[in-house]
Structure 1
Amino acid sequence: MKVLALADLHGKFFRLDGIIKKSDRVDLVVVAGDLTHGGPPENAVRTISILKHFCRHVLCVPGNWDPPEVRQAIGQYAVNLEETPKIYNDTEFMGLGGSNPTGNNTPYELSEEEIAYRLDVLFSHTPAARTVLVSHAPPLSTLDMTPKGAMGSSSLRSALDKADIIICGHIHGARGKVKDGAWVINPGHAAEGQAAIVDLDTMDVVWIDSVF
């Protein structure tokens, strides 16, 4: 199963044309948050519409920059994995939106205690053959380094042995693929034309760079 993974578009939906032109055919599109930069919801709707013309299955989580009205729009026009986990071909996709505190008072931040509770709920049922957690924030100390240090979630770090694959974003300069218990993939900064095609069966990744 192949997915087009992207994160951190921050309202720059015009970048999607270049990303799509460089993408192979995929089974699903996964968006790991920050469809907008504080809104408006119309930017999220436009993003989802463009992606649905490319692939009809679009799965999203909101990011820390996506306010309540954007989160509502995601659920109306795509699958919001925070609200509705989905199973495709024995693979369960589940979602954790927002982020741990950033220090910037962005629209959708969660305490580590709330993140831990939500993860407990997500993993409380019998898992499918393969589990993909789509999280806006990365785990602490995995694809989360910034000039200010590691900015990932400690609660997510504690869940690395519960998911098979984590697709995340949030840290724009931390693009990559790392095996750290789970496979952790940050597809890059979509607002700068970055994305990734991930083969979930082989874990091969094709990096997309549509802006030079």
Structure 2
Amino acid sequence: MKVLALSDLHGKFFRLDAIIKKSDPVDAIVICGDITHGGPEVSAVRTISELKQLCPTVLFVPGNWDTREVVEGLGRYTDAINLDVSPRIIKNTLFMGIGYSNPTGNNTPSEISEEEIANKLETLFREMPAVDRKVLVTHAPPLDTLDMTPKGAMGSKSLRAALDKFDLIICGHIHKARGKVKDGAWLINPGYAAEGQAAIIDLETFDVVWIDSVI
């Protein structure tokens, strides 16, 4: 099973055409948040419409720049699956989600506390069925993984504590932290979609094909 993963488009949906042209056929598209930069909802809806040219199955979590109106608009006008609300099993792979981000210090529109993240994880653990693979889609990365910034590590402590519960975590949020590491789970940041970056992930091997559509 292969997915196209992207994150942090920040409303620049004009980047999607080139990303789609460079992608192989996939079984699902995964968006790790910050579809918009504070709205509007029409930008998010157009993003889903563009991506459906490649694959009808679109899974997402909201980011810290995706407002309540954006999330409600996606629910009202698209059939994209908000993993922060509804886990989904596709080809015996369980996709779960934790949207928004731990506090950034910048007062962005949609931040949640570490306690809220921990409570969301506990709910996921209680309801986790037996499947071949468990994939967690988050906006924020776990602490001390793909989270380094000039101010230091900005990831989530609660996600850090849950690394051994999943086979793969796909995350974003830190624009310059694109990469793949193994730390309990595999972790992949597909890059900064606002600059044309994305990744195709093989969920059986965890091999990654990096997409760079802007040179």
Q: Secondary structure in 2 aligned to 1:185?
A: strand
5+ long unaligned stretches in structure 2: none
Deviation per CA, 1:28-77: give whole Å up to 9, x if none.
00000000000000000000000112100000000000000111123331
Give the deviation of 1:129 after TM superposition: 2.2
Q: In the alignment, which residue of structure 1 is the partner of 2:190?
A: 187
Whether 1:61 aligns to 2:61 is yes
Q: In the alignment, which residue of structure 1 is the partner of 2:142?
A: 139
Q: In the alignment, which residue of structure 2 is the partner of 1:21?
A: 21
Whether 1:115 aligns to 2:117 is yes
5+ long unaligned stretches in structure 1: none
Q: In the alignment, which residue of structure 2 is the partner of 1:199?
A: 202
Cα distance in 2 between the residues matched to 1:75 and 1:187: 24
Q: In the alignment, which residue of structure 2 is the partner of 1:161?
A: 164
Cα distance in 2 between the residues matched to 1:57 and 1:66: 20
User: When the two structures are superposed, what TM-score results if normalisation uses the length of structure 2?
Assistant: 0.97
Q: In the alignment, which residue of structure 1 is the partner of 2:73?
A: 73
Runs of 4 or more consecutive aligned structure 1 residues displaced over 3 Å after TM superposition: none
Aligned-pair identity (%): 71
Cα distance in 2 between the residues matched to 1:104 and 1:72: 24
Give the deviation of 1:210 after TM superposition: 0.4
User: When the two structures are superposed, what TM-score results if normalisation uses the length of structure 1?
Assistant: 0.98
Cα distance in 2 between the residues matched to 1:107 and 1:147: 22
Give the deviation of 1:206 after TM superposition: 0.2
Taking only aligned residues, the RMSD between alpha carbons, in angstroms, comes to 0.7
| Contact 1:41 1:70 (8 Å CA) reproduced | yes
Q: In the alignment, which residue of structure 1 is the partner of 2:41?
A: 41
Q: In the alignment, which residue of structure 2 is the partner of 1:32?
A: 32
Give the deviation of 1:209 after TM superposition: 0.3
Cα distance in 2 between the residues matched to 1:34 and 1:74: 13
Q: In the alignment, which residue of structure 1 is the partner of 2:98?
A: 96
Give the deviation of 1:84 after TM superposition: 1.1
What is the letter of the counterpart of residue 125 of structure 2? F
Cα distance in 1 between the residues matched to 2:178 and 2:25: 22
Q: In 2 relative to 1, CA 175–132 (structure 1 residues): closer, same or farther, beyond 3 Å? A: same
Cα distance in 2 between the residues matched to 1:157 and 1:124: 18
What is the letter of the counterpart of residue 43 of structure 1? S
Map of 1:1-16 to 2, 5 A cutoff? 1-16=1-16
